[in-house]
C-alpha cells in the first residue's frame, strides 16, 4: 500500500464527509497509515500532530494501550447484543458511572451511536415528556445563534451554521433562535459578563412571549464549537437555567464536544453550577475509538415515561444501541481519567502550553486569542476567501493537522499531547499568521 494508490482508490470509491469532492482535484486527500499517541503517519512515514483530536473525539491518543487491552478483552466476551429486552455488564457499569459523574440527578442513560442521534433523542424526549404530562402544545425548541447540534434533519432544525443548514431549510421544522451571549452579531468579544446578561434578557423576553409552546432550550455549554470556538461566560448558563425553570422549559445541554474534560472540568455545565434536564454526550466518550452517544435524563423526565401504557414509553431505538464494545471503550476512558487524575493534570499542562504559545498570542496578525481548558483559538487578521483551505495546507507542511473554521484557527489536541507536539501546533499556527495574516 502506498499513499498515491490509496488516495486514488479512495477518491474513486469513498464519498468523504463535509467535503465538496471536486475540491480534491486541487486539495490533496491525506492518507493515514497508522497512529500513535498525538501523532498520525502516512505510508511514507511522514508524521503530523493530530491538532484537532480527529474531529474532537480523541482524548488519550491513537492506539492507546489501555483502551486497546480493554477492547481485546471485551472481544473475547461479547461484541454486541441487542439492548431491547437484554442487558450486559459494560452498558450497566457505564450508565452507573456516568450518572455518578454528571451534574445533578441524571439517573438514566439512553444510548445511540452518533452525536446527532443524541440530539434527536433529546428533542424527542423533551417533547414526549411534556406530551406525557398533558402539554403536547410544547413542541418547539429554542437554540442559540451560531448553534451546532448535528446534521440529521431534526438536529439541523436547531443548528444555525449556514453552510450546513441553508440548503436543507425546506426540510426543517421552524424553531426559535435566541441571541448568542456576545455584544452584537459578529462580535468577537468572548467571555463578557454583561453580554451574558444581555443575551439572557433576550431569552427571558422570548420565553415570556412563547414559552408555552416551547419544550426545551438546547445549548452548547460555554463554547460553540462548529461556529468557530465561540466562548461565552458561564453566567449565561446559570441565568438560562433559571429562566427555563420559571417557564416550564427543559434545558438540554449538548456536551457532545465539551464533555469529558475538554473545557477544564469533566462537564462544562459544572463551571456554571448548572445541571441540565437532558445531557447529550458523544465524541470523547470512547476516547475516539468507536461511535457511541448517550442522553442522560433526570429522574423526573424518566418518571413521566414510566407507565402501563406502551405509547407513553420512549420507543426510540437504533440497532447498535448500547453496543458492548463501545461501552467497554468508554469504561476504559473513565478509568484513564481516574488513574491519571486527568482533569487536574490538564490544568498544569494547559498552563505549560500557554507559555509555549505566548509568542503566537502576541503575533501582530493574531486577534481574539482565547483558551478554555484544552481548547486554544484565535482569529487571523486579514484572513480572506479560501483562508481555511490554505491554512490547512500550511499546517500540514509544518507537520500539524489543523482545520480552521472560517478565519478562526484552533488547537484541540488529545490530552496525551506533550510539549514537543504542542510546539509543532504553535509553529504551524505561527506560519499561518505569518503567511496569511495582515499585520495592521
Ligand atoms: C459534533 C457535534 C455534534 C454532532 O455529533 P456527530 O457525531 O458528528 O453527529 C452535535 N453537537 C455538538 C456540540 C458537536 O460538537
Question: Which residue is closest in CA terms to ligand 1's atom 8?
Answer: 115
Q: Give the number of the atom of ligand 1 that is nearest the alpha carbon of residue 283.
A: 7
Neighbour-count burial of 365, counting CB atoms closer than 10 A to its CB (0-12 exposed, 13-18 middle, 19+ buried): buried
CA of 192 to the centre of ligand 1 (A): 25
First CA to last CA across the chain, in angstroms?
48
Q: What is the pLDDT of the chain when averaged over all its residues?
A: 96
Question: Which residue is closest in CA terms to ligand 1's atom 6?
Answer: 115
- Sequence ranges of the domains in the chain: 32-63+341-436, 68-340
CA of 227 to the centre of ligand 1 (A): 12
Inter-residue contact 56 to 287 (CB < 8 Å) = no
Ligand 1 touching residue 115 (CB < 6 A): yes
Q: Give the number of the atom of ligand 1 that is nearest the alpha carbon of residue 117.
A: 9
Q: Give the number of the atom of ligand 1 that is nearest the alpha carbon of residue 220.
A: 13
User: For position 189, what pLDDT does the model report?
Assistant: 73
Any idea how long the chain is? 440
pLDDT digits (tens, 9 = 90+) for 243-261: 999 999 999 999 999 999 9
Give the three cell numbers for residue 97: 458511572
CA torsion 105→82→55→413, rounded to 10°? 60
What span, in angstroms and rounded, lies between the C-alpha atoms of 151 and 132?
27
CA of 195 to the centre of ligand 1 (A): 26
User: For position 186, what pLDDT does the model report?
Assistant: 60
Smallest CA-to-CA distance from 142 within 235, 223, 214 is with 214
Degrees to nearest 5, angle at CA 386 with 384 and 388: 95
Is the domain covering 32-63+341-436 a CATH 1.10.10.10 domain? no
Ligand 1 touching residue 120 (CB < 6 A): no
Q: Give the number of the atom of ligand 1 that is nearest the alpha carbon of residue 224.
A: 13
CA of 255 to the centre of ligand 1 (A): 9
| CATH topology (fold) of 68-340 | 3.40.640
Strand locations in 155-228 (E): 176-178, 214-219, 223-224
CA of 317 to the centre of ligand 1 (A): 19
pLDDT digits (tens, 9 = 90+) for 104-127: 999 999 999 999 999 999 999 999
Q: Give the number of the atom of ligand 1 that is nearest the alpha carbon of residue 116.
A: 9
SS3 384: coil
User: For position 141, what pLDDT does the model report?
Assistant: 98
- 39: number of Cβ within 10 Å: 21
Helices vs. strands in the chain: H and E counts, helices first: 14, 16
Q: Give the number of the atom of ligand 1 that is nearest the alpha carbon of residue 152.
A: 9
Q: What is the mean pLDDT of residues 199-215?
A: 98
Smallest CA-to-CA distance from 431 within 371, 366, 369, 376 is with 366
DSSP state of 79: S
Ligand 1 touching residue 288 (CB < 6 A): no
Give the three cell numbers for residue 300: 423526573
- Whether residue 185 is predicted with pLDDT greater than 90 in this model: the reply is no
- Whether residue 183 is predicted with pLDDT greater than 70 in this model: the reply is no
Inter-residue contact 62 to 37 (CB < 8 Å) = yes
User: For position 182, what pLDDT does the model report?
Assistant: 81
The backbone torsions φ and ψ at residue 132, rounded to the nearest 5 degrees and listed phi first, read -60, -25
Ligand 1 touching residue 254 (CB < 6 A): yes
CA of 257 to the centre of ligand 1 (A): 7
User: For position 304, what pLDDT does the model report?
Assistant: 98
Calculate the alpha carbon distances from 111 to 86, 149, 186, 254, 411 in Å. 14, 17, 36, 14, 29
CA of 435 to the centre of ligand 1 (A): 31
User: For position 187, what pLDDT does the model report?
Assistant: 65
Q: Give the number of the atom of ligand 1 that is nearest the alpha carbon of residue 114.
A: 7
List 223's β-bridge partners, or say none.
231
Read off the pTM. Answer: 0.98
CA of 256 to the centre of ligand 1 (A): 6
Ligand 1 touching residue 411 (CB < 6 A): no
Q: What is the Cβ-side half-sphere exposure of residue 165, based on CA atoms within 13 angstroms?
A: 21
The backbone torsions φ and ψ at residue 218, rounded to the nearest 5 degrees and listed phi first, read -115, 130
Ligand 1 touching residue 257 (CB < 6 A): yes
Amino acid at each position: 500500500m502506498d499513499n498515491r494508490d490509496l488516495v486514488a482508490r479512495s477518491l474513486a470509491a469513498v464519498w468523504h464527509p463535509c467535503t465538496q469532492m471536486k475540491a480534491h482535484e486541487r486539495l490533496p486527500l491525506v492518507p493515514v497509515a497508522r497512529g500513535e499517541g498525538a501523532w498520525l503517519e502516512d505510508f511514507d512515514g511522514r508524521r503530523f500532530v493530530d491538532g484537532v483530536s480527529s474531529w474532537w473525539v480523541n482524548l488519550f491518543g491513537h492506539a492507546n494501550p489501555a483502551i486497546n487491552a480493554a477492547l481485546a478483552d471485551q472481544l473475547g466476551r461479547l461484541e454486541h447484543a441487542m439492548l431491547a429486552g437484554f442487558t450486559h455488564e459494560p452498558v450497566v457499569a457505564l450508565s452507573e458511572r456516568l450518572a455518578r459523574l454528571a451534574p445533578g440527578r441524571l439517573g438514566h442513560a439512553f444510548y445511540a451511536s452518533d452525536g446527532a442521534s443524541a440530539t434527536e433523542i433529546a428533542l424527542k424526549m423533551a417533547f414526549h415528556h411534556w406530551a406525557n404530562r398533558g402539554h403536547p402544545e410544547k413542541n418547539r425548541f429554542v437554540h442559540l445563534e451560531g448553534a451546532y447540534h448535528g446534521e440529521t434533519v431534526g438536529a439541523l432544525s436547531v443548528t444555525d451554521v449556514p453552510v450546513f443548514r441553508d440548503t436543507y431549510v425546506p426540510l426543517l421544522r421552524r424553531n426559535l433562535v435566541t441571541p448568542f451571549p456576545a455584544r452584537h452579531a459578529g462580535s468577537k468579544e468572548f467571555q463578557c459578563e454583561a453580554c451574558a446578561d444581555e443575551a439572557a434578557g433576550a431569552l427571558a423576553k422570548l420565553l415570556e412571549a412563547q414559552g408555552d409552546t416551547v419544550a426545551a432550550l438546547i445549548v452548547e455549554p460555554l463554547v460553540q464549537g462548529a461556529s468557530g470556538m465561540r466562548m461565552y461566560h458561564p453566567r449565561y448558563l446559570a441565568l438560562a437555567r433559571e429562566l427555563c425553570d420559571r417557564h416550564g422549559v427543559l434545558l438540554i445541554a449538548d456536551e457532545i464536544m465539551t464533555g469529558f474534560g475538554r473545557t477544564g472540568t469533566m462537564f462544562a455545565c459544572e463551571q456554571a453550577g448548572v445541571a441540565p434536564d437532558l445531557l447529550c454526550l458523544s465524541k470523547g466518550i470512547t476516547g475516539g475509538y468507536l461511535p457511541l452517544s448517550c442522553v442522560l435524563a433526570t429522574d423526573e423526565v424518566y418518571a413521566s415515561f414510566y407507565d402501563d401504557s406502551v405509547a407513553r414509553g420512549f420507543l426510540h431505538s437504533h440497532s447498535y444501541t448500547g453496543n458492548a464494545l463501545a461501552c467497554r471503550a468508554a469504561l476504559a476512558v473513565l478509568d484513564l481519567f481516574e488513574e491519571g487524575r486527568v482533569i487536574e493534570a490538564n490544568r498544569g499542562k494547559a498552563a505549560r502550553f500557554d507559555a509555549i504559545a505566548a509568542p503566537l498570542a502576541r503575533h501582530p496578525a493574531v486577534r481574539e486569542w482565547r483558551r478554555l481548558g484544552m481548547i486554544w483559538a484565535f482569529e487571523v487578521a486579514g484572513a480572506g476567501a479560501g483562508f481555511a483551505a490554505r491554512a490547512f495546507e500550511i499546517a500540514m507542511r509544518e507537520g500539524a493537522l489543523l482545520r480552521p473554521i472560517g478565519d478562526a484557527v484552533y488547537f484541540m489536541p488529545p490530552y496525551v499531547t506533550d510539549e514537543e507536539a504542542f510546539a509543532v501546533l504553535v509553529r504551524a499556527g505561527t506560519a499561518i499568521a505569518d503567511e496569511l495574516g495582515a499585520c495592521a
